[in-house]
A and B are shown apart, each in its own frame.
Chain A
Amino acid sequence: MMPIWTKSGEKRAVTLLKVQDCHVLRYVSKEESGGKTAKLLVGGKNVSPFSKPESAHEIFKEAGVPPKQKVTTFNVTNDAIIKPGTPLYAAHFRPGQFVDVTAKTIGKGFQGVMKRWGFKGQPASHGQTKTHRRPGAISTNKAAKVYRGKKMPGKMGNIYRTSFGLKVWRINTKHDIIYVNGSVPGHTNCLVKVRDSKLPTYKDCNKNPPFPTFFADGDEELPEDLFDEEIFQFTDPSVTFA
């Protein structure tokens, strides 16, 4: 994570996300998958073939791509289908866009109720016998049972969570890095899934995104760094308030 400054001198924190060897692996049509839209399987970071079982090698061989550590599905409309084997780059996103980021949260192991659910616990003194971090009562008398989903101690973290509506401030096309506002679930160097935001406020914010994706062998020549309008670029002189 890194600080960036806006043109008015305010500081924002950004997370750097690297797009490392992403390729489209397979196209699954709407009828085949049984869902509402067609799906595209996309693979992430390259990994040695010995870490994957032989059965998993098929998809990668079909697409003609080295084995990937993570394979995810993206729901796609019929006009956005991409041929399997095309590489995906950071330039697929543009600054000013809003994005949802999904990743597995940091695993905290078996945790008690105070850390896991934020319960208040009991006082440290004034006669408390062996009860300082316990949940207390778990149900009422009339219910005569414990409801399903009762907040209790258990394994915390290591589950998929999404941060919604994160603004993309900057894209580096040379190293394929996306600068995304705020924090993102997961530990450093973990694998992350970035999608266009589904929030209704950002439905019409994408003005001319590269559709279906940014093709490196196309005619478009992009500069090394793409900045948002509000970002303070370090080539400018210091900010002054008129």
Chain B
Amino acid sequence: RVSSDGKPPKFQPPPKPVIIDRKTQKEETRFLSPEFIPPRGRTDPLKYFMERKDMIQRRKVFNIPEFYVGSILAVTTAEPCASDKSKRFVGICIQRGGKGLGATFVLRNVIEDQGVEICYELYSPRIQAIEVLKLEKRLDENLQYLRDALPEYSTFDVNMKPVPRAAHEEIPVNKLQVRMKPKPWSKRWERPKYNIKGIKFELPEHKMKAAQKWSQPWLEFDMLREYDTSKIEEKIRKELSEELEK
């Protein structure tokens, strides 16, 4: 280096190392249950505010764990007709629907060679416990194609033990490609409208190409369908964290 005025250059200490704490970074994008995000519409936001108050109130008393479509859950509900007055059902979550207090999730299992799907309401007072036996995600948001898949993909042991999971770990994505029963299926899952990535299609090439006829490539560029929820989500997350701490 060229020294100024012939004197040796002033000692520059090395830059301090920047420590990126992975754990705090992950807490920033914490899980927000999808039923909290209000749908796009002309309803007064006050209505969603009142619903959220009730939802938070229920969550304070009863723990609704974080789960995704594809995780295996066990739900105990109160049944007036059962001998023990309660019923436990284990299954894989196929879909999560509804917004606000009416949010539902459908669990599927195959019991004694009979496929059974039960739709539970998340905030119903008849639910006594929800345990997540295995927390994982799948390649799709909607696993209704399991109805047309081989039954081995929907059978889960009723007395399954919960799979332990370390805290602050990324949620594993199960990239399982499911094999289907022979056609006809309940819906034409090969069509691009369903956009399914979790099926191993063993159909001939010309059928897969013919299904692409129903593709709508302009849909992803349609600006009127855009619904940016990032700011809404931030506000709701703040509200939730404040209320649950009380």
Interface residues of A (CB under 8 A from B): 2-5, 9, 11, 16, 18, 172, 175, 177, 188-189, 232, 234-242
Q: Which 5 A-B pairs have the closest CB atoms?
A: A234-B57, A234-B58, A9-B126, A239-B125, A241-B80
CB distance from B26 to the nearest CB of A (A): 30
Residues of B near A175 (CB, < 8 A) are: 46, 50
Contact among B41, B54, B61, B85 with A240 in the assembled complex (CB-CB below 8 Å): B85
Closest B residue to A16 by beta carbon equals B47
Interface residues of B (CB under 8 A from A): 41-44, 46-47, 50-51, 54, 57-58, 61-62, 78-80, 85-86, 100-102, 121, 123-128
Residues A236 and B50 in contact in the complex (CB < 8 Å), given A3-B101, A188-B42, A188-B43? no
A177 vs B43: C-alpha distance when bound (angstroms) = 15
**Does the CB pair B121–A239 fall under 8 Å?**
no
Residues of A near B123 (CB, < 8 A) are: 3, 234
Can you report 16 residue pairs joining A to B where beta carbons are below 8 Å apart?
A: A2-B101, A2-B102, A3-B101, A4-B101, A5-B126, A9-B78, A9-B126, A11-B121, A189-B42, A234-B54, A234-B58, A234-B125, A236-B61, A238-B78, A238-B126, A242-B85
Residues of A near B57 (CB, < 8 A) are: 234-235
**Does the CB pair A189–B44 fall under 8 Å?**
yes
**Does the CB pair A234–B61 fall under 8 Å?**
yes
Closest A residue to B79 by beta carbon equals A241
Residues of A near B127 (CB, < 8 A) are: 238
Closest B residue to A187 by beta carbon equals B42
Residues of B near A239 (CB, < 8 A) are: 78, 125-126
Residues of A near B54 (CB, < 8 A) are: 234
A5 vs B42: C-alpha distance when bound (angstroms) = 26
CB distance from A189 to the nearest CB of B (A): 6
Closest B residue to A7 by beta carbon equals B125
A240 vs B76: C-alpha distance when bound (angstroms) = 11
A202 vs B44: C-alpha distance when bound (angstroms) = 32
A240 vs B43: C-alpha distance when bound (angstroms) = 35
Residues of B near A241 (CB, < 8 A) are: 78-80, 85
A189 vs B100: C-alpha distance when bound (angstroms) = 18
CB distance from A17 to the nearest CB of B (A): 11
CB distance from A42 to the nearest CB of B (A): 21
Closest A residue to B43 by beta carbon equals A188
Contact among A3, A16, A232 with B102 in the assembled complex (CB-CB below 8 Å): A3
A177 vs B51: C-alpha distance when bound (angstroms) = 12
**Does the CB pair B125–A18 fall under 8 Å?**
no
Closest A residue to B129 by beta carbon equals A238
Residues A237 and B61 in contact in the complex (CB < 8 Å), given A2-B100, A16-B50, A188-B42? yes
A18 vs B43: C-alpha distance when bound (angstroms) = 12
A175 vs B100: C-alpha distance when bound (angstroms) = 19
Closest B residue to A13 by beta carbon equals B102
CB distance from B57 to the nearest CB of A (A): 4
**Does the CB pair B125–A232 fall under 8 Å?**
yes
Closest A residue to B56 by beta carbon equals A234
**Does the CB pair A18–B124 fall under 8 Å?**
no
**Does the CB pair B44–A9 fall under 8 Å?**
no
Residues of B near A3 (CB, < 8 A) are: 101-102, 121, 123
Residues of B near A4 (CB, < 8 A) are: 101
CB distance from A202 to the nearest CB of B (A): 26
Residues A2 and B126 in contact in the complex (CB < 8 Å), given A9-B78, A235-B61, A241-B79? no
Closest B residue to A233 by beta carbon equals B57
